[in-house]
Chains A and B, each alone.
Chain A
Amino acid sequence: MSELIWNLILLILSAGLVFAFIRLARGPYLPDRVIALDLISILAMGFILVYAVRFNQPSFLDVAIILAIISFLGTVAFAYYIERRW
């Protein structure tokens, strides 16, 4: 029963990842791709946290911290690039 619920949670998260990836591939503008990438990194953080809970490994929370920081810095850098490129 519990196994089924964990698989269902991972399936729902995968659906969100697929949707975000379709937006990343389709665009149509560069900022669309940037926010899709941002959402993908947040979803990856969710995957890592679910994995940490499922297999009882608390050290994976540090990975979530790093991923949050990196995705914020990446988005800010992309925003600077988009605004200053002309």
Chain B
Amino acid sequence: MLREIVVIVLIFGGAIFMALAGLGMLRMPDLFLRMSSSAKAGTLGAGLILMGAAVHFNDFGIYTRAFAIIVFLLLTAPVAAHMIGRAAHFDGVPLWKGTVQDDLKGHYRASTHALESSTIPENDCPATDEDEIPDNSEFDR
């Protein structure tokens, strides 16, 4: 009985966090904020649901499998988010208009795709869409 309650609490919390990740994906103003909501809340929700499943089955094999999936998610979610964020910044996806500072601007070299600490000359920077505001969702490419 107690285990049943623990399982339901864990899975319910995980479902709430996953739905919040979806809500952040819908409501956040630009790509990078959306990415932060989906990578963090989504991973936490999946981890909580996995813990609930492991407690429910209460078997050594299931505990091992759930632990393996949680470690895998914790390892791969930041890597995937970093790769997408890097590619999107390189591709010139505009930031939210309320963004204060863009530290990466002018540090990517377009010809080698490398990030350098010195400022890159203007003609080797990747093209950015300065005048596009991300709220105009009709724009697609």
Chain A interface (Cβ within 8 Å of chain B)?
Answer: 2, 5, 8-9, 12-13, 15-20, 22-23, 26-32, 34-36, 38-39, 42-43, 45-46, 49-50, 52-53, 58, 61-62, 64-65, 68-69, 72, 75-76, 78-80, 82-84, 86
Interface size class of B (residues with CB under 8 A): 35 or more
Give the residues in chain A near B38, CB-CB below 8 Å: 20, 35-36, 38-39, 42
Q: Is the CB of B18 within 8 A of A42?
A: yes
Main secondary structure of the interface of B (DSSP, over half): helix
Query: B119 interface residue, CB < 8 Å from A?
Result: no
Give the residues in chain A near B16, CB-CB below 8 Å: 12
Query: B31 interface residue, CB < 8 Å from A?
Result: yes
**Given the complex of chains A and B, what is the CA–CA distance between A31 and B21 in angstroms?**
17
Q: Is the CB of A32 within 8 A of B12?
A: no
**Given the complex of chains A and B, what is the CA–CA distance between A23 and B25 in angstroms?**
7
Given contacts A36-B25, A53-B53, A61-B69, could you give 4 more A-B pairs where the C-beta distance is less than 8 Å?
A2-B8, A19-B22, A31-B93, A68-B76
* Contacts of B17-66 to chain A: CB distance below 8 A: 18-23, 25-26, 31, 34-35, 38, 42-43, 45-46, 49-50, 52-53, 56-57, 59, 61-62, 65-66
